[in-house]
Amino acid sequence: MKIRSAKGLTFDDVLLVPKRSPIASRRDVDPSTRLTDGLRLNIPILSANMDTVTEAAMAMAMAREGGLGVIHRFMTIEQQVKQVERVKRAEGFVVEAPYQIDPAASLAAAARMMARRGVGGLVVKDDGDKLLGLITKRDVMLAPDVHQRVDEVMTSVDQIVSVGPEVSADEARRILYIHRIEKLPVLTDDGELVGLITAQDLMKPKRYPRAIKDEKGRLRVGAAIGVSAQAMERADALLAAGADVLVLDIAHGHADHCIDMVRALRRAHPDAQIVAGNVASADGARDLAEAGANAIKVGIGPGSICTTRIVTGFGVPQLTAIMDVAEGLRGAGFDIPIIADGGVKTSGDMVKALAAGASSVMIGSLFAGCEEAPGAPVIRDGRKVKVVRGMASLGAAISRKASEEENGEEDESAESQAEWDKVVPEGVEAVVPYRGHVREILYQMVGGLRSGMSYGGAFTIEELQRNAEFIVITPAGVRESHPHDVRRV
Ligand code: XMP
């Protein structure tokens, strides 16, 4: 048995001491950062892989603002792959597998498909990959009879302007402009359809200048996996669908099965970007780094909906956990980034996490109230709220069980039923205020970070870490830090 004499600290226990600053304007600082040792983000923020936080809509919004969304894994492999594909389809200037409809389908069916998929047009193809035509919302709206067949109303291929696979974005823009059209099919010499360029997609870079994108111009997205028997199959499918980062995320990441899984993933996918966690110690981080992780996720129990520390007695206050891991990795010669996961309630907490050695932060509850988080808002006591729940909460376990039943994956063995009867939750369910679009929250968070960097005399996050000097504060200091002795209006 050993006991550490130094106290474990978390965000509210400390403040950063202001430093002489060469920064004249918050605009001069650079909030970009390393996500892994191979990928960068334009802002150091990830949305958590929780089923009340990140599916495709949140991941798209995060990547458009320069951060990253990590799609949770509490769904079938096929469902998670679809989520990744939705993000990948959202913005590349060439949509590689445009939604298609049968020539014999009715206009009503086309309208339904466009509404369901959130697109303004569909390609019409024959049984092979030959393009027959294009049908758009406008065609459907103006047609006199919704029971007409699609091929009676579509613009047929002989009237369509198309381009070859090598077309550049500038060339595509020029062609769309000259012909005053909105959609441009990409065809091989044999007339095989290999993509679709839309005017809307070409305009998006202007709307989201900080978006993070892959080499094909598609938004980047992360996807979570676990260590179950089918985890490797899930990883293969997610990478094939275009996931940029795999996040191997289990509650206790410093476990043999997690280390073995990182090793197996590294062997199977030498070039994949793998984040592994969660850990809260230098040893844990080093073992995962040695196994081949490209970034380490840190946090045992700091999350707003976590009860791990109460239920198990284990955990390390988050600021100390970040500092221990940063020092441990550095000491062992690993130059890989840390993602601080959980407990970030304000932009100030994020600045402290980064200054302590994290390269980015992962956020759950703060984003769960956003429009882009899964689930609809409800009214509670006259206020609009959304639900958030720990992934180890009873509610999440019940939903998982129900979805396994629905998908025919249920384990009906006596052992499994007995296990199920003895679920010990390590998380809670709660409601959070509805917070509108995540973009607004990110604006405030990044504004706070920029200001924090100027107090720290730092143009970059690395400089913030080098300059950081923390001071431990007392409960009186905490009180003084918040608005006090006034009545809030
Ligand atoms: P915040 O504070 O941003 O934290 O809401 C999000 C992180 O909390 C973790 N998480 C859990 N931890 N029991 C836990 O002990 C749970 O049920 C649970 N669910 C999520 C996770 O790391 C997440 O990113």
- What pLDDT is stored for residue 414 in this prediction? 63
Q: Which of 62, 297, 306 to mutate to test the pocket of ligand 1 (most atoms within 8 A of CB)?
A: 306
Rounded CA-CA distance 10/472 in Å is 10
Rounded CA-CA distance 359/33 in Å is 6
Q: Which of 110, 162, 104 is nearest to 131 (CA)?
A: 162
- What pLDDT is stored for residue 410 in this prediction? 57
Catalytic residue among 306, 323, 358, 446: 306
- Tell me which of 2.60.40.420, 2.50.20.10, 3.20.20.70, 3.40.50.300 is the CATH number of domain 11-90+219-478: 3.20.20.70
Answer yes or no: 306 catalytic: yes
* Residue 301 CA, closest ligand 1 atom number: 15
- What pLDDT is stored for residue 139 in this prediction? 86
Rounded CA-CA distance 349/345 in Å is 6
Q: CATH 3.20.20.70 occupies which residues in the chain?
A: 11-90+219-478
342 lines ligand 1 (CB under 6 A): yes
Say if CB 347 and CB 11 are below 8 A apart: no
Q: CATH 3.10.580.10 occupies which residues in the chain?
A: 95-202
Say if CB 152 and CB 130 are below 8 A apart: no
**Cα 262 from chain centre:** 20
Distances (CA, A) of 316 to 4, 320, 486: 11, 7, 35
- What pLDDT is stored for residue 219 in this prediction? 95
Residue 276's beta-bridge partner residues? 248, 296
426 lines ligand 1 (CB under 6 A): yes
Q: Which of 250, 305, 360, 386 to mutate to test the pocket of ligand 1 (most atoms within 8 A of CB)?
A: 305
| Positive or negative: CA dihedral 365, 366, 371, 376 | positive
Q: Which CATH architecture has domain 95-202?
A: Roll (3.10)
The pLDDT profile of the chain, 489 residues, written as one tens digit per residue, is 889 888 999 999 999 999 999 999 999 999 999 999 999 999 999 999 999 999 999 999 999 999 999 999 999 999 999 999 999 988 767 777 788 899 999 999 999 998 888 888 899 987 777 889 999 988 888 888 888 999 999 999 888 899 988 888 888 889 999 998 888 998 888 888 888 888 887 877 778 999 999 988 899 999 999 998 899 999 999 999 999 999 999 999 999 999 999 999 999 999 999 999 999 999 999 999 999 999 999 999 999 999 999 999 999 999 999 999 999 999 999 999 999 999 999 999 999 999 999 999 999 999 999 999 999 999 999 999 999 999 989 888 888 777 777 666 555 566 666 666 678 889 988 999 999 999 999 999 999 999 999 999 999 999 999 999 999 999 999 999 999 988 878
Which residue's alpha carbon is nearest to atom 15 within ligand 1?
A: 306
Q: Could you tell me the pTM of the whole model?
A: 0.83
Which residue's alpha carbon is nearest to atom 18 within ligand 1?
A: 390
Rounded CA-CA distance 390/364 in Å is 9
